[in-house]
Amino acid sequence: MAYNRCMTDSPRSGELDLAIIGGGAAGVLVAIQVLRQARAPLALALFEPASQLAQGIAYATPWPEHLLNVPAAKMSAFPDQPGDFLDYLLAIDAYPGEPREVLGERYASRHHFAAYLQQRLQDAVAASPARLQVLAQPVLGLQPDDHGYQLQLGGGHTRHAAQVVLATGNSMRPLPVSGADALPADDVIEAWDYDGVRTLAGAHALAIVGSGLSMADTVLALVAAGHTGPLHVISRHGLLPLPHAHGGLPDFDPATLLPMTLRQRMHALRGYARQAQADGLPWQGVMDRIRPHGQALWCSLDDADQRRFLRHVVRYWDVHRHRIAEQVHAQLQALQDSGQLHLHRARLQRVGREGARLWLSGREAAGGERQWTIGGVINATGVETRASALRNPLLQQLQADGLARPGPHGLGLDSTVPGDRLLSASGQPQARLGVLGSLRIGSLWESLAVPELRQQAQALATQMVAGAATAMP
Ligand SMILES: Cc1cc2nc3c(=O)[nH]c(=O)nc-3n(C[C@H](O)[C@H](O)[C@H](O)COP(=O)(O)OP(=O)(O)OC[C@H]3O[C@@H](n4cnc5c(N)ncnc54)[C@H](O)[C@@H]3O)c2cc1C
């Protein structure tokens, strides 16, 4: 079913009680929560330039081979209704005949998740006294005043909102190779351009820069589109994501890790993994056991240990933490075994085109220069987390005007912990400006995925609804 905009998508004058900036999964989760919690006719607006809500980057793929990396049973939009995504999949008969217990373990196609959030948004609109406008345009700037924020829109338009939530999500990282800017647009495709990637399929060689989850998406899409040529996956560390595994969770108390230093924690985790394997359990269970404690684990590391983690551990952490479905891992393995997929540990140097020949050069970790002749480059380097490199004009304006400052270690934007208010350049919490999702990575580390987003959305909505009630005459 096509999704209908909830009310209007043209800018209208009128005071907003709440503006949510960004209509990816996070912004839509906040909107649903506000609609559900509102007891009065609040004026709520969701600003999202993309044609569809709730897709953002992760869930915009229409292709069935692009799977969630979290089992369906853990993808509910609501902290207090853990089976809700499963209920939705069963209601639409997404996987005919599959019993609930089996479906709960499934890594469902990602497009189902966007459709699910769209459905729950429509349900919430229908049942709420609050009114939602969906405005199909970006917010370019925010100016504070005594009553909230003036939102700057395109064409000199403005709207005023008493409270604002920043849900601008993931930013793309540019291709880390000199010469990329001078190439024709068709030579470099972003991994999140899900249709564009497929247009590169053929018998020629392709380079995929980055070896994480977006690389896995890219390889699956190319193979599904009939690509038969070599695939050169190039990354500085040459690490592929590891597979999920089924099995019980090892029995240890993650809270015992909190007082430990980074070194002690890593030692303890390796010990738990060895013990799990001795007990016939997969090592993955150790990561799953500590997964709900990710924010507490980050926040309890001191500044120096956080830095050590970012410098020495994060690459290895990521492949253990951000895993792929077993069948996807098996497919990557089979492509490596057949000689179609080549993994290169290399630092890229230049990319260029001479007539019909596109080439990429780099220095391999094993030593020596290497040049690849390719039919196209796919940028699968993932999410940009450095505040200074965020290319979103709104986020640049907020930093330039002192309404925001980089988060710890320069990652994302700084916010209150506990809490969810954006901190100004001078460290003042902004009572009317909340933030959730990946912008909070420096403060919380685990702040990207649905298990965290749904908690943050619920808490933010409660405060925003209470704030609107206080402000009402
Ligand atoms: C490829 C991929 C797969 C993933 N798979 C999973 C998964 O299986 N399970 C899971 O839990 N997590 C997954 N994640 C994590 C993912 O980040 C979150 O689940 C979720 O998609 C994040 O949603 P978001 O709304 O915070 O960000 P985004 O999806 O990036 O959405 C942000 C939205 O804000 C809009 N926006 C930005 N700036 C402005 C502006 N100035 N004005 C108005 N609108 C603006 C953008 O257009 C965009 O639609 C995945 C991430 C990626 C990249």
Residues 154 and 187 in one domain: no
Residue nearest atom 3 in ligand 1 by C-alpha distance: 58
- For residues 214 and 66, what is the distance between their CA atoms, to the nearest angstrom? 10
Inform me whether the pLDDT recorded for 246 exceeds 70: yes
Give a yes or no: residue 90 inside a domain: no
**Stretch among 96-105, 112-121, 169-178, 202-211 having the lowest mean pLDDT:** 169-178
Give a yes or no: residue 80 inside a domain: no
Question: Residue 472: its pLDDT value, please?
Answer: 62
Residues 164 and 313 in one domain: no
Give a yes or no: residue 40 inside a domain: yes
Give 54 Cα–ligand 1 centroid separation in angstroms: 8
Residue nearest atom 35 in ligand 1 by C-alpha distance: 22
Give 167 Cα–ligand 1 centroid separation in angstroms: 9
Sheet hosting strand 377-379, strand order edge to edge: 188-190, 377-379, 206-209, 231-235, 341-354, 357-364, 369-374
Convert the pLDDT of each residue in 81-130 to its tens digit: 999 999 999 999 999 999 999 999 999 999 999 999 999 999 999 999 99
Inform me whether the pLDDT recorded for 13 exceeds 80: no
Bridge pairing between strands 15-21 and 43-47 = parallel
Instruction: Please give the number of the atom of ligand 1 that sits closest to the Cα of 437.
Output: 26
Inform me whether the pLDDT recorded for 322 exceeds 80: yes
Tally of CB atoms within 10 A around 202: 15
The domain boundary, picked from 301, 321, 341, lies at: 321
Residues 48 and 145 in one domain: yes
Give a yes or no: residue 370 inside a domain: yes
Best residue among 107, 450, 452, 454 to mutate for probing ligand 1, ranked by most atoms within 8 Å of CB:
450
Give 437 Cα–ligand 1 centroid separation in angstroms: 8
Residues 264 and 156 in one domain: no
Residues 317 and 270 in one domain: yes
Give 473 Cα–ligand 1 centroid separation in angstroms: 36
Please enumerate, as own/partner, the contacts of 287-291 that have beta carbons within 8 Å and a separation of 24 or more.
287/320, 287/321, 287/323, 288/249, 289/249, 289/250, 289/252, 289/254, 290/254, 290/257, 291/321, 291/446, 291/451
Give 446 Cα–ligand 1 centroid separation in angstroms: 14
108, 72 Cβ separation under 8 angstroms: yes
Give 104 Cα–ligand 1 centroid separation in angstroms: 23
pLDDT, the chain, mean: 94
Convert the pLDDT of each residue in 370-389 to its tens digit: 999 999 999 999 999 999 99
The domain boundary, picked from 349, 364, 381, lies at: 381
Give 451 Cα–ligand 1 centroid separation in angstroms: 13
Residue nearest atom 17 in ligand 1 by C-alpha distance: 448
Segment 69-73 shows an average pLDDT of 94
Question: Residue 319: its pLDDT value, please?
Answer: 95
- For residues 26 and 4, what is the distance between their CA atoms, to the nearest angstrom? 19
Segment 400-404 shows an average pLDDT of 98
pLDDT band at 426 (very low <50, low <70, confident <90, very high): very high
Give a yes or no: residue 88 inside a domain: no
Give 58 Cα–ligand 1 centroid separation in angstroms: 6
Give 457 Cα–ligand 1 centroid separation in angstroms: 14
Inform me whether the pLDDT recorded for 6 exceeds 50: no
Structural domain boundaries enclosing 310: 254-321
Give a yes or no: residue 82 inside a domain: no
The domain boundary, picked from 321, 348, 371, lies at: 321
Residues 276 and 399 in one domain: no
Residues 329 and 204 in one domain: yes
**Stretch among 3-17, 106-120, 285-299, 438-452 having the lowest mean pLDDT:** 3-17
Residues 316 and 336 in one domain: no
Give a yes or no: residue 93 inside a domain: no
Pull the structure tokens for residue 287.
């990561």
Residues 188 and 236 in one domain: yes
Cα-Cα-Cα-Cα torsion 243, 248, 250, 252, nearest 10 degrees, comes to 120
Inform me whether the pLDDT recorded for 5 exceeds 90: no
398, 423 Cβ separation under 8 angstroms: no
Q: For the chain, what is the largest distance between any 2 Cα atoms, rounded to a whole number of angstroms?
A: 71
Inform me whether the pLDDT recorded for 179 exceeds 50: yes
Alpha helices in 78-205 (DSSP H): 84-91, 100-105, 110-127, 194-199
Residue nearest atom 51 in ligand 1 by C-alpha distance: 58
Best residue among 436, 448, 452, 454 to mutate for probing ligand 1, ranked by most atoms within 8 Å of CB:
448
Inform me whether the pLDDT recorded for 271 exceeds 70: yes
What CATH number does residue 161 fall under? 3.50.50.60
Inform me whether the pLDDT recorded for 39 exceeds 50: yes
What one-character-per-residue DSSP string does 393-446 give?
HHHHHHHHTTS--B-GGGBSB-B-SSS-EEE-TTS-EEEEEEE-GGGGHHHHS-
- For residues 312 and 316, what is the distance between their CA atoms, to the nearest angstrom? 8
Residue nearest atom 34 in ligand 1 by C-alpha distance: 22
Residues 370 and 309 in one domain: no
123, 35 Cβ separation under 8 angstroms: no
Residue nearest atom 10 in ligand 1 by C-alpha distance: 449
Residues 336 and 217 in one domain: yes
Report residues whose beta carbon is within 6 angstroms of any ligand 1 atom.
Answer: 21-27, 47-50, 56-59, 68-70, 138-139, 167-170, 213-214, 392, 394, 437-438, 448-450
Residues 56 and 203 in one domain: no
Domain count, the chain: 3
- For residues 320 and 242, what is the distance between their CA atoms, to the nearest angstrom? 6
Give 358 Cα–ligand 1 centroid separation in angstroms: 32
Instruction: Please give the number of the atom of ligand 1 that sits closest to the Cα of 382.
Output: 53
Q: Is the peptide bond before 243 cis (omega within 30 degrees of 0)?
A: no
Give a yes or no: residue 3 inside a domain: no
| Phi, psi of 15, deg, nearest 5 | -75, 135
Pull the structure tokens for residue 35.
């609609």
Inform me whether the pLDDT recorded for 304 exceeds 90: yes
374, 368 Cβ separation under 8 angstroms: no
Closest C-alpha among 463, 437, 450 to residue 116: 450
Segment 240-265 shows an average pLDDT of 95
Pull the structure tokens for residue 130.
């609050």
Inform me whether the pLDDT recorded for 335 exceeds 50: yes
Instruction: Please give the number of the atom of ligand 1 that sits closest to the Cα of 393.
Output: 41
Instruction: Please give the number of the atom of ligand 1 that sits closest to the Cα of 27.
Output: 25
